[in-house]
Structure formats: structure tokens, C-alpha cells
Chain A
């Protein structure tokens, strides 16, 4: 060590500032940070009975606009039943009794003034198995638009193209719009069904096991599509596949025996859940 000291330099400027890159790992706001205007759906004290069997018990939850909310839980826990409540698909089943409330952007969906066809246009649904109509690719997407009536052909053309592009399908089908949808692969058919659902520009998309009948690559394409679609839509997804819920959703609700056991950000649910039953289920200890 020499005794000479550094002469004259300003030590405080010796080390340059090294900017830390901002995290792009999405952190959805936790439920206590939600504002009223962020909420698309509000469920209050919802109970559902099939005859004497209670399938859903006192469900209360809020669903955030333009986010993906996943419902997970073992078979028979009520997750698909809950999903079907949001567009009143359970009305089609005999002997169903529902109490409690569901508000879509402030409108109580069970109100007598609600037009169910209109509700189902605002709350679109995609099922486990792709269910394209036995029509052309174009006609599948245009179908809901024609039902609305009054749209000129040019606007229907534009909306079909827009929907197919948003469903990440346009590049694969733009030169064969008049071919039968039934000739498409399973993954393409499911994206076509999603295009059909978004063509009528709903507020909410309900996805009931949308990828469970697809191969792994088609599944990842659907998941990437879900990630893109949440910029415009509020998405609720039911899945048996917990890993899929972890990959695609911002929020996750764990249902067990018809009850909402825990509902939080997906980060919390999959790294540090509060409830032991949630922990047991997601770590594969469910008995």
C-alpha cells in the first residue's frame, strides 16, 4: 500500500449508474389493489342446486376486466358449472335452481329484462371439443354477424378477416376461406371457434377446457392466443391442466366441492398459496 491518495477525483462519480432493466414478468395487481372500474363481473353469494344437490355454495368473487382468470379444481368441483353461470347456459338444464347475483358491468344477468341471446353475444363461449359448423371457414365466422342482421357484406368481410387475424388463423386460411371448416386440423378448428366467438365482439370470453383435445403444440398456440386476446377481452378459463392455468392466467380460483377455496393472483396461488387445500392440490397431494 502506498501512502499517496487519489488526487482530485470525485469518488461519487467513480462508479457509473448501471440501469436495471424493468421486469417484463407480468405482475397482475393483487385483489386488494383492484379498483371498481377494473371489475367486469361480480359474483355475490352464488348458490346452484341440481335438484337436491348443491353444486355451488356461496361463491363470491370479482373478475377483472382484460385479464385471464382461471378456475381450477378436481373433477366435479363445480368449475364448469360456475363458468356456465356467466352466460346462463345452466338455464338449458332442467331442475337447476340458482340464487345469488352475477353482475356484468353492473347489469344483473338474471334480471327479467335481460335478453339471453344478447347476453350470450356479450359473453361468448368456447368448449372443450372444437365445434365448427359444417360450413365454410368464412361462414363459420360470419354466422354470428349475420344473426345480428343489418350488416353490409363488405363489413362482414372486414369483420371476418379481423376475427381470423385476431385468432392467429388468417395466415393459414386466407386463401381457402370457402373450404369446409371440417377439413381443418383440431387446433385450427379451435382457433376458428375462437374467431367465431370474437367476431361479434363480446365483452367476455368463457373457455371451457379449450385445449384439452389438442396436441401440445396446438395447445401452446391456443395459450399464446389467449395471451394476445386478453388485451381486448375479459377471459375466464376452466382447465384440468394446472400447468396451463399457471401459464396463461393472471388470476386463479381453486374450487373444491362447490366452494371457492382460494382466489388470488396466479403468482401467489402457484408459489405461496394461503390455503393448505390449495397447496395440496397444486402440488399433487390431493387425496
Chain B
């Protein structure tokens, strides 16, 4: 159904600006995750450092979105779909900021871990699973942001369902690392680094799922977070 414009052109502009800012934050956070994982895989310390440096930009955007949403709520008294959109934006920007924190954690793991020489074959195969995890979590994040922007609640439902696969691969990585540490106790630090990165990627999937849930709330007004609690 075609959305009509608000009578107040200024309110319309404010909502669009806020959504634009959220999209920019999403783009920045996606790039942070991509760079952080790339830095980890290639042990690129300067790239990891640049991820840590940019973390403050993500935080800055979150604060601006919070402040502007508060101002719009105080001055425009949004109702119905406008109110749900702003609540969804406020909650989703918190999730995005936490995704930024996870990218920062991955970058710090890269900076603080000393790789072995020569590398373990065992770890190489686990890193393939980590790459799969990264692809799944990044796809969830990208799609959840697109769905929020396009008000695509059916796509958001698919994103929520995709989190189960992220959890499955994550558990597989954890199991493999546990076994690897038993076999190669002198390389515990490297296995732990992989576990930390996998854990961050799994958390990124959770945050993308939250954003997808916020999309459904914004569009339909339905709270799908806890299906076992009757609404």
C-alpha cells in the first residue's frame, strides 16, 4: 500500500533524515565487521587498528540517533506507525552499536593474538567454518538492515529463522576448538582467539535477528521476540 506523506513537510524530512542516518550507521557497521574479520584472517594489524579507531564513529552515530529520536518524540508526538518506526529505530541503533562493539572485539583479538609458525592444519579447517559463520552473520546483518529500510516484514521473518544456522555453525566451531585444545594444549591461545571471534560473529547474528524483530514490530505492531509469551 502506498504511504501518504505527512501534512508537515518538516516532520517528513526529520523522519527521512533519521532513517538516512540509521542506514549510514548500518553501512559503517557492516564495513567494520567485514574489515575486522578480514584483518583476523590475514593478520593485518594495521587494518585491525583502523577498525578500533573507527569504533568511535559508530558510537557517535548512535548518540546522534538517540538524541534526534528523543527530540522528534518530544516535539512531534508520533503515533501509530510513526511511533513504532521511532521505537524500532531507537532499539535497532542500540543493536547496531553492539555489532560495532563485536567488530572492535574481533579487531582486538587480532592485535593481541600471536600466531604460531608454522600454522596448525587443524585450525585451518576450523577457520573455514569461521568463514561460513562470517558469511551467514554478515548476510543476516545486511538483509536485516535492508528489510528495516524497506519495511519488509516477510523478509525479516526469514532473517529471524536464519539465526538457527548461525547457532549451529557456531556450536560446531566451539566443539572443534574444544577438541583441538585437547589435542594441542600448547596452542590454547590460538583456539581461544578463534572461539572469541566465532562468539562475536554469533552475537552479530543475534543482533541482526533483533533488528529483524524490530522491523516486524515497526511494520505490523506485532512483538515476535518471545513467541511463548502470549500478547
CB distance from A64 to the nearest CB of B (A): 18
CB distance from B4 to the nearest CB of A (A): 12
Question: Is the CB–CB distance between A14 and B10 below 8 Å?
Answer: no
Question: Is the CB–CB distance between A227 and B8 below 8 Å?
Answer: yes
Cβ-neighbour of A224 out of B7, B71, B76 (below 8 A): B7
Prevailing SS type, chain A contact patch:
loop
CB distance from A122 to the nearest CB of B (A): 27
B221 at interface, CB cutoff 8 A: no
Question: Is the CB–CB distance between A18 and B31 below 8 Å?
Answer: yes
A217 at interface, CB cutoff 8 A: yes
Interface string of A241-270 (1 = CB under 8 A from B): 001001100000000000000000011001
For the complex, give the distance between the alpha carbons of A20 and B29 in Å. Answer: 13
A37 at interface, CB cutoff 8 A: no
B85 at interface, CB cutoff 8 A: no
Question: Is the CB–CB distance between A246 and B74 below 8 Å?
Answer: yes
Which residues of chain B have C-beta atoms less than 8 A from A23's C-beta? Answer: 17, 21, 64, 68
Prevailing SS type, chain B contact patch:
helix
Which chain B residue has the least Cβ–Cβ distance from A4?
Answer: B42
Question: Is the CB–CB distance between A24 and B14 below 8 Å?
Answer: yes
Question: Is the CB–CB distance between B71 and A15 below 8 Å?
Answer: no
For the complex, give the distance between the alpha carbons of A243 and B42 in Å. Answer: 56
A 1-48 contacts with B by CB, 8 A: 1-6, 9, 11-12, 14-16, 18-26
Stretch from B110-118, B144-152, B165-173, B199-207 that touches the partner:
B110-118
Question: Is the CB–CB distance between B10 and A227 below 8 Å?
Answer: yes
Which residues of chain B have C-beta atoms less than 8 A from A154's C-beta? Answer: none
Question: Is the CB–CB distance between B115 and A1 below 8 Å?
Answer: yes
Indicate the size class of the contact surface on chain A: 20 to 34
Which chain A residue has the least Cβ–Cβ distance from B120?
Answer: A1
Which chain A residue has the least Cβ–Cβ distance from B64?
Answer: A23
**Contacts A15-B54, A21-B21; is A1 near B43 (CB within 8 Å)?**
yes
Which residues of chain B have C-beta atoms less than 8 A from A62's C-beta? Answer: none
Question: Is the CB–CB distance between B44 and A25 below 8 Å?
Answer: no
B231 at interface, CB cutoff 8 A: no
Which residues of chain A have C-beta atoms less than 8 A from B63's C-beta? Answer: none
A223 at interface, CB cutoff 8 A: yes
**Contacts A24-B17, A223-B8, A247-B8; is A3 near B24 (CB within 8 Å)?**
no
Cβ-neighbour of A247 out of B28, B39, B50, B75 (below 8 A): B75
Question: Is the CB–CB distance between A21 and B24 below 8 Å?
Answer: yes
Question: Is the CB–CB distance between A1 and B74 below 8 Å?
Answer: no
B61 at interface, CB cutoff 8 A: yes
**Contacts A1-B194, A3-B117; is A227 near B9 (CB within 8 Å)?**
yes
Which residues of chain A have C-beta atoms less than 8 A from B64's C-beta? Answer: 20, 23
CB distance from A230 to the nearest CB of B (A): 11
Which residues of chain A have C-beta atoms less than 8 A from B35's C-beta? Answer: 14-15
Question: Is the CB–CB distance between A220 and B7 below 8 Å?
Answer: yes
Interface string of B15-49 (1 = CB under 8 A from A): 01110110010011001100100111111101101
Question: Is the CB–CB distance between A18 and B27 below 8 Å?
Answer: yes
Which residues of chain A have C-beta atoms less than 8 A from B224's C-beta? Answer: none
For the complex, give the distance between the alpha carbons of A2 and B49 in Å. Answer: 19
Which residues of chain B have C-beta atoms less than 8 A from A266's C-beta? Answer: 75
For the complex, give the distance between the alpha carbons of A31 and B119 in Å. Answer: 64
CB distance from B114 to the nearest CB of A (A): 10
**Contacts A1-B43, A246-B74; is A15 near B13 (CB within 8 Å)?**
no
Which residues of chain A have C-beta atoms less than 8 A from B113's C-beta? Answer: 1
A111 at interface, CB cutoff 8 A: no
Which residues of chain B have C-beta atoms less than 8 A from A247's C-beta? Answer: 8, 11, 75-77
Which 6 interchain pairs have the tightest Cβ spacing? A11-B46, A11-B47, A6-B42, A220-B7, A6-B44, A270-B74
A-B contact pairs, 30 of them (CB 8 A): A1-B40, A1-B119, A1-B127, A1-B193, A1-B194, A2-B127, A4-B43, A6-B44, A12-B46, A12-B50, A14-B47, A14-B50, A18-B24, A18-B27, A18-B28, A20-B24, A20-B61, A20-B64, A21-B17, A21-B20, A23-B68, A24-B13, A24-B14, A24-B17, A224-B8, A224-B9, A246-B76, A247-B76, A267-B74, A271-B74
Q: A1-B113, A23-B21 are in contact. List 18 more A-B contacts (CB 8 A).
A: A2-B42, A2-B115, A4-B42, A6-B38, A6-B42, A11-B44, A12-B50, A15-B35, A15-B50, A23-B17, A25-B71, A25-B72, A26-B10, A220-B7, A224-B8, A224-B9, A247-B77, A271-B74
